[in-house]
Structure 1
Amino acid sequence: MHKVTDLKVLYFGTPVVLIGSRNEDGSANLTPMSSAWWLGQSCVLGLGNSSQTAANLRREGECVLNLPSSAQVDAVDALALLTANPHVTDHRRAQGYRHERRKFAAAGMTELAGELVRAPRAAECPVQLECRLEAATPLAGNDHCTAFEVTVVRAHVEESLIVPGSDHYVDPLGWDPLIMKFCEFFGEGRRLSPSRLAEGWRMPGRLPAAAPAAV
């Protein structure tokens, strides 16, 4: 039997992306998000209009989509409630967000220069996609979000993830992406750890903290 329900969250499970972009002063920004989908060499990113990344994309017209593996869940979670936008709304403060410009340092990641774009790559991420902005479309019925369409102009992939004997295909068995499902982290075929984002958004199904190791 199905139940008719007004779902508050529709994040059924998508890969986590760390979007590298440049702030107005030229500094590097790194933002986690999971509202992304690909088709061919195009990707659509769903971002809130008040985010620093949305402003950077509109101004710079480029970004890098860094895809972390499940092993990098702690680095991603460290960024969950940080914003490079100095104007933190009361709503976001109530969720636990705070202003932080040094995103790479906060995540313990290393900034690398893009080759075809100015936006930064995250050295530790096994997949890094340099992209250029093609279009920005407001979401129907939602004044707070925009769909940004980007084109991948160069892909950097950890060599061990390439199918042997091929230069163009990622090994689906070797690639273990970090997945966000209903604001919780999943990978390696299992639930991983509690998410600060889920806590900030007061998700009712938040995973409990990990039990201390036995002595």
Structure 2
Amino acid sequence: MHRVIDLKVLYFGTPVVLISTRNGDGTGNIAPMSSAWWLGDRGMLGMSASSQTTRNMLRERECVLNLPSSEMVSAVDRLALLSGSPEMTPHKVEKGYRFEPDKFGAAGLTPEASEIVGAPRIAECPIQLECEVVSSRAFDEDGRITAHTVRVVRAHVEEGLIVPGTAHVDSVGWDPLIMKFCEFFGGGIRIHPSRLAEAWRIPQPQSTR
């Protein structure tokens, strides 16, 4: 039997993406997100219109989509409640976000120069996609969310994940970090407590599978 409920979260299970962008002063910024999907060489990213990442993407017209493996969950969780802008919305303040100008240092991650775009890559991420911003449009009626369309202009993949003799990623060897209802999953199981889930007061998983 189905029951009608007012779902508070619609994250049914999508890969985590660490978006790296370049700030106005030339430093690097990182934003963890999971509102992303791909078709062909394009990606669609949903971001808060007030975020530092959106500001950077609108100004620079580029970014890098870094895909962390499940082994990187601790570093990703350290980024969960950090903001790259000192000017935060009341919503972020209420959730416990704090301003952090050096997100690479805070997460223990290493910036790596890109080959085409100015935004840095994240060295520890097995897959890094340099992108140009194609379009940015309001996603909701009051302009709080921006939908960015990006085009992948160069892909970097850890050699051990490439199927020999092809331009394909080994789908068995690749274990992406998944966010499911604000909780971290890898290999089909919950692998790490989530600061984001705690801030959003998401009930802890009850399944013992």
TM-score, L = length of structure 1: 0.93
Alpha-carbon distance, 1:206 to partner: 5.8
Q: State the match for 1:211 in structure 2.
A: none
Q: State the match for 2:83 in structure 1.
A: 83
Q: State the match for 1:176 in structure 2.
A: 175
Q: State the match for 1:124 in structure 2.
A: 124
Alpha-carbon distance, 1:89 to partner: 2.6
Q: State the match for 1:103 in structure 2.
A: 103
Report the Cα distance in structure 2 between the residues aligned to 1:136 and 1:125, rounded to whole angstroms: 26
Give per-residue Cα distances to partners, 1:48-102, cap 9 Å, x unaligned: 0111000000000000000000000000000000001111233212211000010
Q: 5+ unaligned residues in a row in structure 1: which ranges?
A: 208-215
Relative to structure 1, the CA distance from residue 2 to residue 95 in structure 2 (aligned partners, 3 Å threshold; closer, same or farther) is same
Q: Match for 1:92: what amino acid?
A: K
Report the Cα distance in structure 2 between the residues aligned to 1:157 and 1:135, rounded to whole angstroms: 26
Alpha-carbon distance, 1:142 to partner: 4.7
Q: State the match for 1:148 in structure 2.
A: 148
Q: State the match for 1:192 in structure 2.
A: 191
Alpha-carbon distance, 1:140 to partner: 3.8
Q: Which runs of 4+ in 1 moved over 4 A?
A: none
Contact 1:64 1:129 in 2 (8 A): yes
Report the Cα distance in structure 1 between the residues aligned to 2:52 and 2:203, rounded to whole angstroms: 28
User: What percentage of aligned pairs have identical amino acids?
Assistant: 62
Q: 5+ unaligned residues in a row in structure 2: which ranges?
A: none
Q: State the match for 2:12 in structure 1.
A: 12
Q: How many residues align?
A: 206
Report the Cα distance in structure 2 between the residues aligned to 1:11 and 1:188, rounded to whole angstroms: 17
Contact 1:35 1:45 in 2 (8 A): yes
Report the Cα distance in structure 2 between the residues aligned to 1:89 and 1:149, rounded to whole angstroms: 24
Contact 1:67 1:125 in 2 (8 A): yes
TM-score, L = length of structure 2: 0.96
Report the Cα distance in structure 2 between the residues aligned to 1:67 and 1:49, rounded to whole angstroms: 22
